[in-house]
Chains A and B, each alone.
Chain A
């Protein structure tokens, strides 16, 4: 390897670049010469065999060769419009008709939405309609009208995400901050406020809570609530619906157990457990050896809530219930980390 060899080689390589007419040819050139195992790297490798006295001059020429080739390459790449990151060329004909998208296999429904829809369908078949409401809510609908006392711990900063009500809102303004709804219950309030009675509806939707994200808790998850308001609605009706739902969703042989509980917006309040569908009530890891799974909270709509929504509790009564979708889906598919549901990793989604 001599200085003149290298000079000849330089003009040879730049010539190839010059003649290239497509980005593909350029790419081939790059693979042959410019990569770590390419021809130029090989020349550098050979440098150790050059006699000591000529080594500095040859080394210099080799560096020049590399510089010249790289510069020429970059220049050509620019002129050919190569490089995937660049904006596409204006020559593209957007009026070409669409190309049908090939399908080798169907895509996948998200497990949370599948579970939610399955539950909703069960209630729809039982004569419930479906209601929706905003995820950004005001304090009145999310708390006040649901009989949450002004200083209820649930209103504290650690649980609720607060949102500025307008773009120019400032701290200290008279207008109260909004919240990301902490439950789907504000939609119950909206339904009752609308004045259209009787009501028999389920409310699916996303809810938020401001808690550290971990395998067991997410900042955002799904709920399904139900509300029935009519003349003469009783706890026996609630129990009938709970039983029917459990049998349809958890299996014909499942049984339910009601326990007294407490929620600000229902009185009496209950917790509904369903016999563990994994061990059939014998006790296993999933049900923490109790034989029961906590499925939903429920109760008779609190008279204060009815009154605040303009409904006379002496004429009407109602029941409400609510359940979490994420936990149900976790149990059904043996998902141990709730975050998998919102990471949208194809390796996860493709299993459904």
Chain B
């Protein structure tokens, strides 16, 4: 995965055996200290498996006596000696397999078995118990809890259990970042240990007396041709004859098992051992299967397309895959996996050992295409040490000769068409100090590079020339060396600086996106709306309902995640469905986020238009009738409208809200004509721009989402609203002087034909009032009796607020105004003024 912090997911943990590590470097510090220091060098120790220290108080004991527990059928009373000459321990045991003479694992008083379980002197059903006989599960060895562990008879009484079962080693689980290929082995880690604590690294010794033991020259039987030196700059091989393929000796199996590898046979195990020792992957071929002993390194293109790898799977080879072949057939996918046809078997007598360098990106590509993640490919794709090839080859050949009794042919075949040249780069000590913000002396840096086995040329004191050792494939530029200074000098030794150089920002937004965002959220929350965050990827079927053309995901996780949402609404409806299922009493939601569609004109990124949208939804009971004196109110278009008005008012944005006409062009919300109910949709305009659409979700859409009751929703254009808010803020306003004279309110109720819209009535009332006195006109009651209904009428009551800026209005004046309005309305709409 990419990005900061997430990238750590791709680091695979490698196991390092402390016992094995000690073969190459002295470790004089405690395990926790070692782990902490390695971590501070960027070699992150994720876990420590230290059985011996963890279970130091678990020792070998022998059961001397077993009796039935007097108060419990399933328990036994035992007497166990741990060979300390003291009185045998009395231990109550529940295991069915406990028997006299058995060697057992005894957790003695004080032993901590993890999760706070510490062995204490206790009484079990009235009988004293001075320890515990352990099962494998109790010691985390396996899931087996059928009975207690039975140790071999020769186990030494009183010795730590770890020794008796061969678990005295400490295993470090280490996460290696992808740039540190040189650390993917015990010698690699040993170098870091030596760097941290001093000391020298001793490589595994090659028993040279076992090499070149045959008079036959290697190049007389084996030949190597490299067809593509860019993909394989070096290929070396040795041949061992007369080998006996058999099980590896205990020491070798133990090494491999400690790092999580399964032992196979003495040949393959040696190649794996050498890889885990020095980091260079090797491969062993049954030499008799190689036609004319001629190895050809070439790509699959035009040569082979199918191949059975040694896991017995038939693979289709990518044409670019690099192969190890002979004149007739492929023998291995180079650096990735060997072939079944040339595998080492129990009948193998001649072995060709391959030690080569392959181009990292070629290996990575082939491994990905084949879906193979082998230890070899893992190392080759990160970069191996091309100068270490002969060491690894000789080390393996000598070990194979030693373990299989074979003779090693004379000499090495070493094709090396592209010679290694160290990458030289400049290094300016001043630049390093400046970039780190730390005062590290020249001498200290030189010392660090020296300890890293780097080559230093200081002819120019202010601009050195450096190159890394062949195994540090990651050291290529000045900054890489600065990183080395940082980690060895110690990041903790860089002083934190509180001096920020960048000047304060000058450009100021009256209402930045951040402030606008926060205010918007605050306004929604204030009126009882909860914020949603949804995954903006939806199904194609859903996307179709809400507009488009929807942006298409080419490699969806599931069919539910194949289109980028063209609107916030589908996510809100999904939330409504979920909450309806859990019987939410009333729902108020909002969400802000990106919506996407394709445009015909090029956008910031290809043809994808990405905009911000605000969506809100309300459904079911808005006022809870369970609250005393409260009326039950369910979601409707008038409540939805008020939500929108609330938001607009809070930014002082002026807008007109009108009924959506069927032919009205809604731009990117055009589809709202379909997903909202035409009879209950309002459009909010700011000038000519469509700022929002509010409506009842169409019954068909409600059905598609399985919703059982009416849903009202609104969609607002984030950017337009933001712009309008900014404009309102920038333009500002001047306060009106406070009124000196009192206002009067007069109510008028009209019986009026039902087809006259409330909006028409209010507009007419407003128009017929003298402008200088009107302060407000609003509808305060609406009523419809059965009789009225039969006559096709209803009652609408209007409250008008009047005030003069210059004087107190006279009663007669008010009467006259109201009477005037009344008669205008009566004549205009054939209405009747009721009071």
Contact = CB atoms under 8 A, between A and B. Distances in A.
Interface stretch (B55-63, B360-368, B401-409): B360-368
Contacts of A108: 525, 530-531
Contacts of A112: 533
Given A102-B633, A262-B180, A220 B537 contact: yes
A84 B635 CA distance: 13
A217 to B, nearest CB: 9
Nearest to B698: A87
B552 interface: yes
B549 A263 contact: no
Given A153-B10, A346-B582, A136 B608 contact: yes
A87 B678 CA distance: 9
Contacts of B553: 161-163, 180
A85 B699 contact: yes
Interface in B507-541: 512-514, 517-518, 521, 524-537
Contacts of A231: 501
B361 A151 contact: yes
B554 A151 contact: no
Interface stretch (A38-46, A48-56, A60-68, A122-130): A122-130
Interface string A118-157: 0010001011011010111110001100001111011011
Interface in A221-238: 223, 225, 228, 230-237
B551 interface: yes
B729 to A, nearest CB: 18
A157 B528 contact: no
A234 B659 contact: no
Contact of A132 (B504, B513, B596): B513
Interface string A63-91: 00000000000000000000011111111
A35 interface: no
A151 B364 contact: yes
A101 B555 contact: no
Interface in B708-724: 708-710
Q: Which of B496, B498, B501, B709 has the most CB of A within 10 A?
A: B496
Interface string B636-677: 111101110110000000000001000000000000000001
A298 B4 CA distance: 7
A156 B608 CA distance: 22
Nearest to B3: A183
Nearest to B657: A98
A260 B483 contact: yes
Given A137-B605, A163-B553, A240-B497, A101 B526 contact: no
B528 A105 contact: yes
Interface in B696-713: 696, 698-699, 702-703, 708-710
A3 B319 CA distance: 87
B535 A99 contact: no
B interface secondary structure, majority: mixed
Interface in A219-268: 219-220, 223, 225, 228, 230-237, 239-244, 257-263, 267-268
A271 B43 CA distance: 12
Given A134-B610, A243-B496, A260-B483, A127 B502 contact: yes
B554 A200 contact: no
Given A99-B638, A104-B528, A178-B605, A346 B579 contact: yes
Interface stretch (B78-86, B155-163, B587-595): B587-595
Given A130-B514, A151-B365, A239-B494, A342 B698 contact: no
Nearest to A162: B554
Contacts of B450: none
Nearest to B700: A87
For A143, A151, A212, which residue has the most chain B Cβ atoms within 10 angstroms? A151
Contact of A182 (B1, B501, B504, B608): B1
Given A235-B435, A260-B486, A262-B178, A322 B2 contact: no
Interface string A159-198: 1111111110000000101101011110000000000001
Interface stretch (B65-73, B213-221, B240-248, B753-761): B753-761
Contacts of B499: 237, 240
A259 B491 contact: yes
Contact of B710 (A84, A99, A107, A177): A84
Nearest to B549: A167
Nearest to B635: A101
B629 to A, nearest CB: 12
Interface string A293-317: 0101110101100000000000001
Interface residues of A, number: 134
Given A92-B637, A98-B642, A136-B551, A261 B177 contact: yes
A177 B556 CA distance: 14
Contacts, number: 382
Interface string A2-30: 00000000000000000000000000000
B302 interface: no
A88 B480 CA distance: 70
A185 B4 CA distance: 9
B637 A321 contact: no
Nearest to B514: A130
B588 A107 contact: yes
B641 to A, nearest CB: 4
A270 interface: yes
A323 B646 CA distance: 35
A226 to B, nearest CB: 10
Interface in B530-586: 530-537, 549, 551-557, 561, 564, 571, 574-575, 578-579, 582, 584
A182 B494 contact: no
Contacts of B819: none
A91 to B, nearest CB: 8
Contacts of B710: 84, 88
B550 to A, nearest CB: 9
Contact of A86 (B438, B529, B555, B699): B699
Given A98-B642, A113-B531, A136-B605, A162 B179 contact: no
26 contacts: A87-B699, A90-B679, A93-B759, A101-B622, A108-B530, A109-B525, A113-B531, A166-B606, A185-B2, A211-B1, A212-B557, A225-B4, A232-B501, A233-B501, A234-B434, A234-B437, A234-B497, A237-B501, A243-B496, A260-B42, A260-B483, A260-B486, A268-B483, A294-B8, A320-B4, A344-B589
Given A92-B637, A165-B608, 16 more contacts: A88-B696, A89-B679, A92-B680, A96-B758, A134-B605, A154-B7, A161-B556, A163-B554, A164-B552, A185-B2, A219-B535, A223-B4, A236-B496, A261-B8, A297-B7, A344-B534
Interface of B: 1-8, 10, 39-42, 44, 177-180, 361, 364-365, 368, 434-438, 477-480, 482-483, 486-487, 491-492, 494-505, 512-514, 517-518, 521, 524-537, 549, 551-557, 561, 564, 571, 574-575, 578-579, 582, 584, 587-590, 593-594, 596, 598, 604-608, 610, 618, 622-624, 627, 630, 633, 636-639, 641-643, 645-646, 659, 677, 679-680, 682, 696, 698-699, 702-703, 708-710, 754, 757-760, 762, 778-779, 782
Give the 7 A-B CB pairs with smallest separation, nearest first: A95-B759, A236-B437, A183-B3, A260-B42, A322-B4, A234-B437, A297-B4
Interface of A: 84-110, 112-113, 117, 120, 124, 126-127, 129-130, 132, 134-138, 142-143, 148-151, 153-154, 156-157, 159-167, 175, 177-178, 180, 182-185, 198-200, 206-213, 218-220, 223, 225, 228, 230-237, 239-244, 257-263, 267-271, 294, 296-298, 300, 302-303, 317, 320-324, 341-347, 349-350
